[in-house]
Structure 1
């Protein structure tokens, strides 16, 4: 006999689908205390014993249930960006760009989609101070009708590195010493050692030591994609873009001295309380646009590499174009479920948005998804905060694994001819949307060149006023005072000297350490020195001097974007 509607498994499942939001909103007055299997328990502090003074009973499932869950209630914290805050809201398209991008969220004015945003520091643990001098993460999950698009940005337009294999080692230097277990707030030797051996970091170092190193909360900071992405329209035409989130609250900063007096959760509190009182923070979404030809010309004429995370695009040449804005108007009700478990990855893209050949971006496409598989589990995208909200029902052949909730019913878990899954025709030929990448396998490591100092020099000479310069010197000198090795600081001052001799002179006065006269006579262990006087110092430690160093430093040079069909057999147009 078939079960009734009320007792069927289908009825139970339907209730589970609707109960998540009910549970999220439920008050304690509506709840009866029970064990995890739903059995009521008279009091949470009661235990079963053999008499009033005897040992505990193994049959006391309530106590066992309580302790075993407590032992497992933490998941691994993020290996970077562990300290974070977040909220929910919505994106609204204000200036449609269907001529540039076929993604549905940019299709028409007024188009909206829900979002979740997570802000974070980079190096600290989950309990660390959120007013630390550190870059800030700025990740946005756009829940579009075509799937989730994650923009995993930072509050600075550049980063410390452009060679992806450096990232794990760099992050190690931002964390605790493996012997003393001290952070660089007490011992900055590792911090400066890495930076002084990898001089391409200088632009980010100057931003970090400047006023933007400690923003006045998350509401008063901008966000930047850093990487170039590609926008593709329905005809397969595409452009490179840099994506900017511009705070409508303006920007602000906290001085090093004032940061010590702030709550460890100052930025979290500021964001949460602003939303609670209805002061909803907003950001404009803007893009810089460069055609493939312009990207090549940027390198050929100005030595700006669009695939280089340490370079910026001049806004005088590539002005910002507003395409929308987003608002945060809803705090998380449960921080763990909605912010700790939210998982962002640059590989979460939708039709019309594609990655560029930036090698650091390419490595992040793998690494972010991989760390969520470790941190949350194989089915992390089934969690409500991560689940896609498409305009269509979607499925695939991914099945099972721990905590499989949406396990796709009885549908075949392979490409079946009996019960075939449906397909949507590819909108654009992928061969039209990439550059001309044909060549031998190469061992690539970038080199430092004079052009790498142009943007940080402009930052010092044209952007910073005198009080801002003085604060940078004070912040950098203070950090240097915690370094135990003067040789490291001599190298670092030499790198600053390549930006502007004024910086080096001021740091020498502030630290009492005489730096080297530039980097021409220095050899680096992490970067080829394209400014070295002789060949012996040009190659990074351990690299064969006969190794090939690319003349383009990884940039898209002339004819990089010539289509494969237009190339001859030998790869020449």
Structure 2
């Protein structure tokens, strides 16, 4: 079945949703301007006045309508996850999951279930930057034949708190401080760290937040986690506890803190542009859906409580079963109508998926609906096109703000006889939703289970799982975040709190924030690790990476073009960057167009750097501070760098020192040292190209990090 046949196939859900949304899309090209009532307008540049210099008249209905609509265009932004970006796609299960769940969209591998995904930051306002240190939201709306299912996820598998009643507190603490609304989109201030040391259940989440996970390279290169514990329920009524995972096919990769900060200033839309451009180029982001499942009879067999949202289930103990793949293949047409109006809710489930007693989840089931009522103007937000299910909607809910359905008939209640009790409840056999029959008993009490009282062991497990580079980054993140705290008592409390996680970590934190190290090194005694949580063990793939090529007049054409062709053949994007836009000529006389100038680009916008030879080109760039800055930033951020012939000399001139140049003097021998790939006088470029592509796939070469330009290690 080809794509066109799939779109027209009545069993294909993706085609159904596509057609449904198309009925609401309007292209105003080659049309006549009208009011909202369809009245054609002759002039929209001048208001109706009493004389050409007189006052505007209130009878100008077009002016009034235009201004009124403009004045009411904004809706309240989300309290959290305000800054987001969305895309459309589809999901297909790999094999039937009927053994575990009766959810229909997880049964037939031939069915494409349409999805809409919204990625977001958490703390910042809509106007903040994409690359701030923060948790990232990863919310997916499945338009299934049984109704909409929302998988509301984050890129970190745990949360700050154990009980939803404290959610307002953690958000109030991390938001800008109320007396001066400073700082924006940052946890680096007193009120947040006061909350942390006052609520030690945050320890594990803080370790993730200060890791590289909180500054992803791309939405396309970050994991998603359902955070809460749910249930799968099959046709026989057997339930299993389940956690959801999204695994990016490109691997999990991050920025470094320095480039994240610089990107926030130079390209605050870095992540949304990256997603938009990838889809437009046909490089559709792909994420595999995985589930961890625990039989109910095994609920208490672990050394952590599986319902505790500050704990994850280590993959080495509870393996992730990969069950399907999501492909994002279409950008939104209108940001407001789709991304801003998309309403997600963890309580939007379908038969086969149910809830657990996770106390954070229980509170979310109330909060999400409540906030949509305010943001989207009432209870009919499900009728907004982006939120409309493809399944029929039949109930006796009526009226309310922005009602779009015109309900016929006199009956709006159940049960009834006037319409034969329509709409009728569906039986279990008709796939009516039946809640899992869990036995619940106990006294009403404000208390937390004793099994939730361990706040440090998994924080230690996470620390043990990190590579040396990742540990360095966490320590530096503590120095920045806690270093910005003004209250010295809170700083000292941070050191003492994280001494419970690891004594070395606490001592290293103290060195950077001006307080005393702990008197006695602490820790939990946990020696195990979970390799799955380290990005050092992720997929390494050069596809979709971006390489900057620095060149000027007099470059060597063959060197540039052979490398460029090889990179593009490996799925890598190449930009030619020079001092000005326009055309530059090679030493042989061939011309090439410059994609970006130094003034509109920077090393922080690329994954790697290549410098072809050509003495005149190199001489010119040796006079350009911008070229040297480009190289020095790429080097400091541990990015792959490639250079051929005279291009190697520019590296030396840019203070990339101690390259073993002796090895590059012999003809054709490729040298790779800590991610810097060089060759002089090659007979062909195959060996260089292969080495450089491998270096790009590695993402970063951490052994040279923080070496101040010196190639040591």
TM-score by length of 2: 0.67
Q: For 2:459, which of 444, 451, 456 is the aligned residue?
A: 456
Evaluate the alpha carbon distance shift between residue 334 and residue 386 of structure 1 in structure 2; reply closer, same or farther with a 3 A threshold: same
- More contact order relative to length (CA 8 Å, sep ≥ 6): 1
> SS in structure 2 opposite 1:499?
coil
> SS in structure 2 opposite 1:310?
coil
The aligned residue for residue 503 of structure 1 is 505
The aligned residue for residue 252 of structure 1 is 253
Deviation at 1:206, TM superposition (A): 0.8
Deviation at 1:516, TM superposition (A): 5.1
| Cα distance in 2 between the residues matched to 1:504 and 1:411 | 69
1:438 matches 2:441: yes
1:268 matches 2:267: no
> SS in structure 1 opposite 2:287?
strand
Contact 1:494 1:517 (8 Å CA) reproduced:
no
| Cα distance in 2 between the residues matched to 1:251 and 1:57 | 60
1:194 matches 2:195: yes
> SS in structure 2 opposite 1:143?
strand
Q: For 1:512, which of 503, 511, 514 is the aligned residue?
A: 514
List runs of 5+ in structure 2 lacking aligned partners: 1-18, 523-713
Contact 1:495 1:518 (8 Å CA) reproduced:
no
- Summarize deviations over 1:427-484 as a string: whole Å, max 9, x none: 59999834432111001246797743222212212x2111211111111111111101
| Cα distance in 2 between the residues matched to 1:446 and 1:107 | 37
| Cα distance in 2 between the residues matched to 1:448 and 1:239 | 20
Contact 2:491 2:513 (8 Å CA) reproduced:
no
> SS in structure 1 opposite 2:232?
strand
The aligned residue for residue 281 of structure 2 is 277
> SS in structure 2 opposite 1:108?
coil
Q: Which moved more, 1:280-289 or 1:196-205?
A: 196-205
The aligned residue for residue 60 of structure 2 is 60
Q: Which has the larger radius of gyration?
A: 2
The aligned residue for residue 387 of structure 2 is 386
- Summarize deviations over 1:503-523 as a string: whole Å, max 9, x none: 001011122212555899xxx
| Cα distance in 2 between the residues matched to 1:515 and 1:447 | 31
| Cα distance in 2 between the residues matched to 1:257 and 1:418 | 69
| Cα distance in 2 between the residues matched to 1:334 and 1:432 | 37
Contact 2:290 2:323 (8 Å CA) reproduced:
yes
Evaluate the alpha carbon distance shift between residue 449 and residue 89 of structure 1 in structure 2; reply closer, same or farther with a 3 A threshold: closer
Evaluate the alpha carbon distance shift between residue 93 and residue 518 of structure 1 in structure 2; reply closer, same or farther with a 3 A threshold: farther
The aligned residue for residue 487 of structure 2 is 485
The aligned residue for residue 294 of structure 1 is 298
| Cα distance in 1 between the residues matched to 2:125 and 2:206 | 21
For residues 295-444 of structure 1, what are the structure 2 equivalents within 5 Å?
Answer: 295-298=299-302, 302=303, 304-377=304-377, 378-390=379-391, 393-410=392-409, 412-415=411-414, 416-419=416-419, 420-421=421-422, 422-427=424-429, 433-444=436-447
Contact 1:495 1:519 (8 Å CA) reproduced:
no
| Cα distance in 2 between the residues matched to 1:280 and 1:325 | 12
Equivalent pairs, count? 495
Deviation at 1:122, TM superposition (A): 0.3
Deviation at 1:407, TM superposition (A): 3.6
Contact 1:187 1:484 (8 Å CA) reproduced:
no
| Cα distance in 2 between the residues matched to 1:350 and 1:186 | 36
The aligned residue for residue 472 of structure 1 is 474
For residues 121-140 of structure 1, what are the structure 2 equivalents within 5 Å?
Answer: 121-140=121-140
Deviation at 1:346, TM superposition (A): 0.5
Contact 2:48 2:60 (8 Å CA) reproduced:
yes
| Cα distance in 1 between the residues matched to 2:112 and 2:236 | 24
The aligned residue for residue 549 of structure 2 is none
- Summarize deviations over 1:247-276 as a string: whole Å, max 9, x none: 011111111100122111111000001000
Evaluate the alpha carbon distance shift between residue 450 and residue 341 of structure 1 in structure 2; reply closer, same or farther with a 3 A threshold: closer
List runs of 5+ in structure 1 lacking aligned partners: 1-17, 521-573
For residues 160-179 of structure 1, what are the structure 2 equivalents within 5 Å?
Answer: 160-179=160-179
TM-score by length of 1: 0.83
Evaluate the alpha carbon distance shift between residue 269 and residue 358 of structure 1 in structure 2; reply closer, same or farther with a 3 A threshold: same
Contact 2:21 2:386 (8 Å CA) reproduced:
no
Deviation at 1:383, TM superposition (A): 0.7
| Cα distance in 2 between the residues matched to 1:257 and 1:156 | 21
Q: CA RMSD in A?
A: 2.1
Contact 1:163 1:446 (8 Å CA) reproduced:
no
For residues 19-58 of structure 1, what are the structure 2 equivalents within 5 Å?
Answer: 21=22, 24-29=25-30, 31-58=31-58
Q: Which moved more, 1:195-204 or 1:342-351?
A: 195-204
Evaluate the alpha carbon distance shift between residue 239 and residue 195 of structure 1 in structure 2; reply closer, same or farther with a 3 A threshold: same
Contact 1:498 1:518 (8 Å CA) reproduced:
no
- Summarize deviations over 1:295-349 as a string: whole Å, max 9, x none: 1222xxx2x1111100111222211111111010000001100110000000101
Contact 1:211 1:472 (8 Å CA) reproduced:
yes
| Cα distance in 2 between the residues matched to 1:275 and 1:380 | 28
The aligned residue for residue 206 of structure 2 is 205
| Cα distance in 2 between the residues matched to 1:309 and 1:80 | 18
